[in-house]
Amino acid sequence: MGHFWTTAALILSCILLGEACNSCVSREVCLKSDDINSVRCAPHLVCCEILHEYFTWDLTGNNNEPERSTTAEPIIPYPGFRTFRTEEGLSIPFGLSTDGLSNPNGLDATKYMTNEQSRPGQFPWVMALFDTDKYFAGGSLIRSDVVLTAAHKLRNKYANQIVVRAGEWDMGCQTESFSYDEREVYEITLHENFEFKTGANNVALLFLTRPFVLNNHIRIIPIPEPGNSYDGRRCTVAGWGKTKESDLDNSSILKKVELPMLRRDQCEEQLRRTRLGWNFKLPESFVCAGGEPGKDACLGDGGSPLFCAKGQSDRYEQVGIVTWGMGCGVGGVPATYTNVAMFNEWINEKMLPFVYRKGQATVSPVR
C-alpha cells in the first residue's frame, strides 16, 4: 500500500536531473520546483520536486491557512447531543466491550480479496469522508458521534459539505452482506496549534448530527494514554487511498498494510537522507512507521487511522493519523503520522458536553 498522502508536506515527485519530469503541475501547488527540468513541461506548468499535497488546494490563489473551527447553521438534533445513544434513545455507556474489537475473519466469507485488501468489516472503526458524493479522506470513529481525522484534509471544507460513512468496505459494490450508514457533520474542530506548512498538530474532530448505531460492522476504536511507546511494534494502517503512487484512482476496497513503528531518532535520520535535507527536524507531534519497500499508506489515505494491537491480536487502539510521506512505499523512507496519544487530553476535552478552561467548567449550548 504505497504512500504519499498528504499535507503541506513534502513528497518526492520528480525524476533525477537529466531525465523526464513525472510531476508537471501548476506553480500554485508546488513548494519547490526544478527549473532545469521545467523546460520539459507545458509552458504553464513546472516540474515539481516538493508538492503541497492533499490540502485540497484552492487554485484561485486563496491559499490561506484553514479556519480553526467551522460550523454549519445551528442544528439541534436532540437534547444531550454528545452522549452515546441508540436511535431508540437509549443511553450507551462509555467503554463498550466491543471498542477496538476487529473482525479478523471478516463478515462475508463469499468475498475475494488480495493480501493488500482488508476483509469485509474487518476494521469497523474506519470511516470514509465524502464531499458532494466524492471521497476525500479517511477517519476513525472514537465515539458514536465523533470522528477523528487529519486537520489538513479539512482545508476549505465546511461542516455542512461533509458526509461521514461508516460500515463501508467496497465502494464499488452494492451487494455486501451488510450495509453502510451515513451521518452529516454538525461541527468541525481543528487543533488550535495546527501548522499548515509542517503538518504539526495535525488533528481534527468531526461532530455528527446523530450518533451511529454500533453493531458488528460499526464500532469505536479507543485512543491510548499519553506516554505509551510503540517503538519496534508492527501496526496496521487502513484506508481507501491509492495502492501505489502511479495509480490513477483510489482503491474501491478498504486497504490494509502492516508496518514497523520507528523510534523518533531513527525516523528523523532516515528522512534527513531524503530531499528534506540534514536540517530537517521531526515535529514533536509525529510518530513514524514504514520504510519497507512497497508497503505504505499512499495518496488519498490522509486522515486514516494507524492502529496497534492492544493485548490480544484482534483488539486495537489508534496510535496515529496518516499525515505525510516521501513517495509511496520507498525503501528506507518511513512515513509520518500524528501521535494520537499526545492529543488524548485535547480530544477528551473537546468531547466534553461543556466548555472546560483551567479547572472551570461552563455549560455550553447543545451542539
Decide if pLDDT at 96 tops 60.
no
pLDDT digits (tens, 9 = 90+) for 52-62: 443 322 222 33
Contact by Cβ (8 Å): 72, 186: yes
Residue with cell 503512487: 245
Whether 267 is covered by a domain: the verdict is yes
Whether 244 is covered by a domain: the verdict is yes
pLDDT digits (tens, 9 = 90+) for 114-123: 889 999 999 9
Name the CA dihedral angle for 319, 213, 182, 156, rounded to a multiple of 10 degrees: -40
pLDDT digits (tens, 9 = 90+) for 223-245: 999 988 899 999 999 999 999 88
Please measure the distance between the N-terminal and C-terminal CA atoms of the chain and give it in whole angstroms: 38
Decide if pLDDT at 49 tops 80.
no
CATH code of the domain containing 314 = 2.40.10.10
Q: Is 145 exposed, middle or buried (0-12, 13-18, 19+ CB in 10 A)?
A: buried
The pLDDT confidence band at residue 102, using thresholds 50, 70 and 90, is very high
Whether 38 is covered by a domain: the verdict is no
Q: What is the mean pLDDT of residues 362-366?
A: 44
Whether 339 is covered by a domain: the verdict is yes
The pLDDT confidence band at residue 174, using thresholds 50, 70 and 90, is confident
Whether 199 is covered by a domain: the verdict is yes
Whether 366 is covered by a domain: the verdict is no
> Which of residues 25 and 93 earns the better pLDDT score?
25
Percent of the chain residues past pLDDT 90, beyond the cut: 57
2: containing domain: 1-7+97-352
* Count: domains in the chain: 1
> Which of residues 141 and 312 earns the better pLDDT score?
141
Which pLDDT value is given to residue 229?
A: 86
Give the CA count within 13 Å in the CB-facing half-sphere of 165.
20
Contact by Cβ (8 Å): 339, 285: yes
Which pLDDT value is given to residue 34?
A: 65
Whether 40 is covered by a domain: the verdict is no
16: nearest Cα among 47, 60, 52, 61: 47
The structure's pTM equals 0.75
Whether 62 is covered by a domain: the verdict is no
